[in-house]
Homo-oligomer: A and B are copies of this chain.
Amino acid sequence: GYSGLPRQQHGLAGAPEWPAVRAMLPDLAGRRVVDLGCGFGWFTRWARENGAAAALGIDLSENMTARARADTTDPMVTFEIADLEKLVLPQEAFDFAYSALTFHYIEDFGALAATVLQALTPGSHFVFTIEHPVYMAAAHPRWLTDDHGRKTWPVNGYSVEGERRTDWFARGVLKYHRTIATTLNTLIGAGFAIRHVGEFAPTAAQIAENADLAEEIERPMMLLVSAQR
């Protein structure tokens, strides 16, 4: 099941995109960090272990936040249960915002971007990852073989934004497809400056260690964004 995924069992080290994400992070020393969709709290704890003054993890799941809480004794690492669709955050209470593979479950990204902006002090960064729109768009997102026998990722309905249902551990998991343009323009419209965009691809060393990653050369699977208030 879901809890058995490498990234759930081994945390950041189990996520192949983590080195690329880490390279996009600002120095966290002394910063107050918020981690949106923190799951088991791997990044929340990592932020504090890497210099953050405090780190707050927020997730909808009672089970996950309970386990996240049980995995630390640090009083400056805290966890809260909240729905990101209706998130309220205090003004300028954080100096860095983070989110990993969560926002593609959010219907109203515009409201969330505005909430995060006002919760950050001016100059603060907001780094997040989502499933790449090219990965999510198709009605039946499964590898195809082209006429020349090459492993090929299908794209259709790209410009039709909105609900996508897939079977992933549970049947009919609901996600929301947005184009890259919409994601970036939403951030810009909220008042963020785009600082860096990443489309995760494994390195040769990662593929040598885990041959399953080779197919991620063919398609962009994750979109990584660094924005700044």
Q: Which residues does A use to contact B, with CB under 8 Å?
A: 134, 138-140, 142, 144, 146-148, 150-160, 179-181, 184-185, 188, 193-199, 201, 216-220, 224
Tell me which residues across on chain B come within 8 A of A151, comparing CB atoms: 156
Tell me which residues across on chain B come within 8 A of A224, comparing CB atoms: 181
Specify which of B155, B185, B220 is in contact with A218 (CB 8 Å cutoff).
B155
CB atoms of A199 and B179 under 8 A apart: yes
Minimal beta-carbon separation of A180 from chain B (angstroms): 6
Specify which of B140, B194, B199, B220 is in contact with A148 (CB 8 Å cutoff).
B140
CB atoms of A199 and B158 under 8 A apart: yes
Tell me which residues across on chain B come within 8 A of A219, comparing CB atoms: 155-156, 158
Stoichiometry, as copies per complex, reads: 2
CB atoms of A154 and B158 under 8 A apart: no
Tell me which residues across on chain B come within 8 A of A180, comparing CB atoms: 180, 197, 199
What separation, in Å, do the CA atoms of A117 and B152 have in the docked complex?
Answer: 37
Mind listing 27 A-B residue pairs with CB under 8 Å?
A134-B134, A139-B146, A139-B150, A140-B146, A140-B148, A144-B154, A146-B154, A151-B156, A152-B154, A152-B155, A153-B156, A154-B154, A155-B155, A155-B219, A156-B218, A158-B218, A159-B218, A159-B220, A160-B217, A180-B197, A181-B198, A181-B224, A184-B184, A185-B196, A193-B193, A193-B194, A194-B194
What separation, in Å, do the CA atoms of A142 and B195 have in the docked complex?
Answer: 34
What separation, in Å, do the CA atoms of A31 and B67 have in the docked complex?
Answer: 60
From known contacts A140-B148, A195-B188, infer whether A155 and B153 are also in contact, taking CB-CB under 8 Å: yes
What separation, in Å, do the CA atoms of A150 and B188 have in the docked complex?
Answer: 34
What separation, in Å, do the CA atoms of A134 and B181 have in the docked complex?
Answer: 13
- Closest B residue to A194 by beta carbon equals B194
